[in-house]
């Protein structure tokens, strides 16, 4: 799952430099020159992370960060502040308003990419390109492959064929193990919050995912929690199916 990064920066040269490096890394990039423009763009597309300049025209980055944190739809978006301010009090102010990281200008593009990856890995592991291994399943986002190890031979593995939606669904569940997710939460995180489909669509894809996992004896990892939703768990518990 490719992460979408929004850059809110009013200096064209800096915006272009960041955008160029992020696109080369494989991210989808959205650019805004003001908080007002960024707010309009967020209404259409919810980014996975916001790179936010402190000094913006009309509304400061700090004010915009506060508005993002106050919105029900945007409160969980990871935010990295970009600023020339180096005072500790400024850094503390940004972090206390909910920023996940703080980078001072000038900065190295390599460092910025590394910090973005670290925040995404911590806050949104389902958009990371790291291999995930849970319960005997191994999912590689880069090659788009899911395999299960042969218990009798460590060198052998069986590949599980999944459709793109089932792959994204399994990736999300495997990176959020033991947590119960409602259908609406799965729709927002796997399908996107601007995709309008019925909650029961989740049930259809869960069934397809289980059928694929059943062929390798791993369908019990995707559990239904009656009256609540679904979870990925290596443990069998009361109330799960």
pLDDT confidence of residue 195: 59
What are the pLDDT digits (tens) for 181-221?
999 888 888 887 655 667 788 999 999 999 999 999 999 99
Its pTM stands at 0.66
pLDDT confidence of residue 122: 81
Residue percentage of the chain with pLDDT more than 70: 89
Neighbours of 86 (CB within 10 A): 9
pLDDT confidence of residue 107: 87
pLDDT confidence of residue 153: 41
Q: For the chain, how far is it from start to end, CA to CA, in angstroms?
A: 28
pLDDT confidence of residue 79: 93
pLDDT averaged per 10 residues, the chain (length 241)? 88 94 94 95 90 91 90 88 74 74 87 91 77 92 86 67 92 91 86 70 93 94 93 73 57
pLDDT confidence of residue 152: 47
Task: Determine phi and psi for 231, rounding to 5 degrees.
Answer: -150, 160
Check whether the bond before 5 is cis (ω within 30° of 0).
no
């Amino acid at each position: 799952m490719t992460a979408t990064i929004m850059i809110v920066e009013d200096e064209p040269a800096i915006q272009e430099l960041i955008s160029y490096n992020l696109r080369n890394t494989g991210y989808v990039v959205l650019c805004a020159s003001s908080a007002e423009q960024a707010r309009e763009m967020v209404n259409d597309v919810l980014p996975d992370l916001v790179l936010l300049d402190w000094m913006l025209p009309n509304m400061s980055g700090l004010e915009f960060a506060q508005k993002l944190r106050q919105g029900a739809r945007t409160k969980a978006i990871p935010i990295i502040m970009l600023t020339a301010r180096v005072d500790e009090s400024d850094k503390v102010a940004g972090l206390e308003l909910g920023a996940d990281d703080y980078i001072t200008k000038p900065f190295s593009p390599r460092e910025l990419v590394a910090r973005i990856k670290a925040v995404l890995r911590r806050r949104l592991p389902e958009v990371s390109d790291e291999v995930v291994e849970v319960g005997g399943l191994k999912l590689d986002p880069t090659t788009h492959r899911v395999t299960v190890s042969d218990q009798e031979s460590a060198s052998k593995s069986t590949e599980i064929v999944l459709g793109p939606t089932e792959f994204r669904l399994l990736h999300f569940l495997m990176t959020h193990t033991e947590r119960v997710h409602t259908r609406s939460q799965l729709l927002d995180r796997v399908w996107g919050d601007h995709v309008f489909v019925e909650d029961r669509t989740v049930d259809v894809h869960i069934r397809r995912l289980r059928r694929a996992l059943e062929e390798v004896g791993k369908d019990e990892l995707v559990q239904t929690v009656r009256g609540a939703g679904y979870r990925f768990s290596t443990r069998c518990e009361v109330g799960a199916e």
